[in-house]
Amino acid sequence: MYDKHGEESLEKRISSLVTFRGQDLSPPWPEVLALAEKLIGLPRYLSVHPGGVVITPNPIGNYVNFMEMSTLPTTALRTTRI
Protein backbone atom coordinates (compact mmCIF):
# COMPACT_ATOMS: atom_id res chain seq x y z
CA MET A 1 0.00 0.00 0.00
CA TYR A 2 1.26 3.46 -0.90
CA ASP A 3 0.18 6.94 0.21
CA LYS A 4 -0.54 9.96 -1.99
CA HIS A 5 3.20 10.71 -2.25
CA GLY A 6 4.08 7.25 -3.51
CA GLU A 7 5.55 6.19 -0.18
CA GLU A 8 4.67 3.05 1.72
CA SER A 9 1.65 3.45 3.99
CA LEU A 10 2.13 3.88 7.72
CA GLU A 11 0.43 0.52 8.29
CA LYS A 12 2.91 -1.19 5.96
CA ARG A 13 5.90 0.56 7.56
CA ILE A 14 4.76 -0.29 11.10
CA SER A 15 4.02 -3.92 10.30
CA SER A 16 7.57 -4.28 8.90
CA LEU A 17 9.18 -3.17 12.19
CA VAL A 18 10.62 -5.97 14.32
CA THR A 19 8.72 -4.67 17.37
CA PHE A 20 5.37 -5.02 15.60
CA ARG A 21 6.09 -8.13 13.54
CA GLY A 22 3.34 -10.67 14.18
CA GLN A 23 1.14 -8.19 16.07
CA ASP A 24 -2.58 -8.21 15.42
CA LEU A 25 -3.40 -5.07 13.43
CA SER A 26 -7.06 -5.89 12.94
CA PRO A 27 -9.76 -3.23 13.50
CA PRO A 28 -9.70 -0.62 14.84
CA TRP A 29 -5.94 -0.33 14.05
CA PRO A 30 -6.22 0.22 10.28
CA GLU A 31 -8.51 3.20 10.91
CA VAL A 32 -6.27 4.56 13.70
CA LEU A 33 -3.21 4.28 11.44
CA ALA A 34 -5.05 5.91 8.51
CA LEU A 35 -5.96 8.86 10.74
CA ALA A 36 -2.41 9.05 12.10
CA GLU A 37 -1.07 9.03 8.55
CA LYS A 38 -3.06 12.19 7.79
CA LEU A 39 -1.17 13.93 10.61
CA ILE A 40 2.25 13.18 9.13
CA GLY A 41 3.82 16.36 7.85
CA LEU A 42 1.46 18.73 9.65
CA PRO A 43 3.07 21.31 11.94
CA ARG A 44 3.02 20.17 15.56
CA TYR A 45 2.97 23.66 17.04
CA LEU A 46 -0.46 24.71 15.73
CA SER A 47 -2.83 24.57 18.66
CA VAL A 48 -4.83 26.83 20.93
CA HIS A 49 -4.39 26.54 24.66
CA PRO A 50 -7.86 26.97 26.22
CA GLY A 51 -6.36 29.39 28.75
CA GLY A 52 -5.34 31.57 25.82
CA VAL A 53 -8.82 32.12 24.40
CA VAL A 54 -10.20 35.59 25.05
CA ILE A 55 -13.88 36.31 24.38
CA THR A 56 -14.98 39.95 24.25
CA PRO A 57 -18.20 41.67 23.16
CA ASN A 58 -16.19 44.01 20.89
CA PRO A 59 -13.06 43.58 18.75
CA ILE A 60 -10.13 42.48 20.90
CA GLY A 61 -8.11 45.45 19.62
CA ASN A 62 -10.39 47.70 21.66
CA TYR A 63 -8.99 46.14 24.84
CA VAL A 64 -5.37 45.12 24.20
CA ASN A 65 -2.64 45.52 21.61
CA PHE A 66 -2.15 42.53 19.36
CA MET A 67 -0.07 41.55 16.37
CA GLU A 68 -0.66 39.25 13.46
CA MET A 69 1.89 36.46 13.29
CA SER A 70 3.59 36.37 9.89
CA THR A 71 4.35 32.64 9.91
CA LEU A 72 1.23 31.26 11.56
CA PRO A 73 -2.50 31.73 11.09
CA THR A 74 -2.87 33.19 14.57
CA THR A 75 -2.78 36.38 16.61
CA ALA A 76 -0.53 37.14 19.58
CA LEU A 77 -1.63 39.43 22.38
CA ARG A 78 0.97 41.90 23.61
CA THR A 79 -0.07 42.70 27.13
CA THR A 80 0.81 41.99 30.75
CA ARG A 81 -2.75 42.29 32.01
CA ILE A 82 -6.25 42.23 30.59
Domain boundaries, the chain: 10-39, 47-82
pLDDT at 71 over 60: yes
- Note the pLDDT of residue 4: 57
- The string of DSSP letters for 5-47 reads TSSBPHHHHHHTSGGGTT----TTHHHHHHHHHHHTTS-SS--
23-45 residue pLDDT tens: 888 999 889 988 888 888 887 76
Q: Is 60 left (phi over 0), alpha (psi -120 to 50) or beta?
A: alpha
For residue 78, the surrounding DSSP H or E stretch is strand 75-78
Measured distance CA(71)–CA(45) in Å, rounded: 12
- Note the pLDDT of residue 9: 82
